[in-house]
Amino acid sequence: MSSIKKYLSLVKFSHTIFAMPFALIGFSLAVTHFSNRLNIIETIGLVSGNKILISWQELIIKLVLVIGCMIFARSAAMAFNRYLDRNFDAKNPRTAIREIPAGIISKESALRFVIINCLLFTIATFFINRICFYLSPVALFVVLFYSYTKRFTALCHLVLGVGLSLAPIGAYLAVTGRFDVLPVLFSFTVLFWVSGFDIIYALQDEAFDKSENLHSIPAALGKSNALRVSEILHLLSAACVIAAGVYGNFGWLYWIGIAVFIGMLIYQHSIVKPYDLTKVNIAFMTANGIASVVFAVFVLLDIFLT
């Protein structure tokens, strides 16, 4: 296995599919929020009372930097989680094959990888704008702190949700330099959505978490009650994405995207049962991957075509 493949596997790079589409939504909202859509090809008017013109070249550079930030922050967070949990992973039959306990990547190499990605993230924010740079330590703290939370609180799933929910807000800030209601609504959508499906994923480790005094909703409440909590969180996610649609006055394409998104939420709960966890990975990766990507495609089409 090449070094690149080893590290891509370490950080589960394919899972970037969850938050990245929402970052693109936040970025696109920012582009159109302060512009006349008919004239967007020529110049884009942005923020703060005075009309600042930005060229397509500058905008593309910002988009590349935003995507880079997403990759660097997530890679740092995931690698740090693997580094911190290496001893637990070695004891758990489900996770013993992961790169650090299996000896594919050393713990020292994993930690260096975390530090490099944190530095790259910070450098990228410096070239985006001042507010993103100033807030970069906060963002890194949130995404790295998650790795500790399973040691003391069952609300660790919500902390993970907060980490990924920074994607639409951060991308919006990268363009506008300011906060707004609409990206915040999308961030709450991500928070509740991710927290809900992370609980489903954690069902697999209920017994192990209890044996090691690790905290999670399944370990605290049992599988059945944990699924009820996940359903409530996904209901809140659906409410937030509907509220965003109403507040943003989106068109019919957006609502098709919502139908797919909510449909995937319902689907994953229909295939995972307390007594049957054989389809957890389908619910976790397939259903949520479809929910994120298809929803984002329809939102972007609505933003730029309607």
Q: What is the mean pLDDT of residues 217-239?
A: 98
Q: Which residue is associated with the tokens 């919006």?
A: 172
How many whole angstroms separate alpha carbon 157 and alpha carbon 138?
A: 19
- pTM value surpassing 0.85: yes
Residue 44 has pLDDT above 60, yes or no: no
Question: Domain residue spans in the chain?
Answer: 3-305
* Angle in degrees, CA 76, 208, 141, rounded to 5: 25
* Angle in degrees, CA 117, 120, 122, rounded to 5: 110
Please answer whether residues 214 and 88 qualify as being in contact, where contact means their C-beta atoms are separated by less than 8 angstroms. yes
How many whole angstroms separate alpha carbon 195 and alpha carbon 189?
A: 10
Q: Which residue is associated with the tokens 């599988």?
A: 223
* Angle in degrees, CA 204, 100, 161, rounded to 5: 50
pLDDT one-digit tens code per residue, 64-107? 999 999 999 999 999 999 999 999 999 999 999 999 999 999 99
Query: What is the CATH code for 3-305?
Result: 1.10.357.140
Please answer whether residues 26 and 186 qualify as being in contact, where contact means their C-beta atoms are separated by less than 8 angstroms. yes
Mean pLDDT computed over every residue of the chain: 91
Q: Residue 44 pairs with which residues in a beta bridge? A: 54
Q: Which of 134, 199, 160 is nearest to 78 (CA)?
A: 160
3-state secondary structure of 250: coil
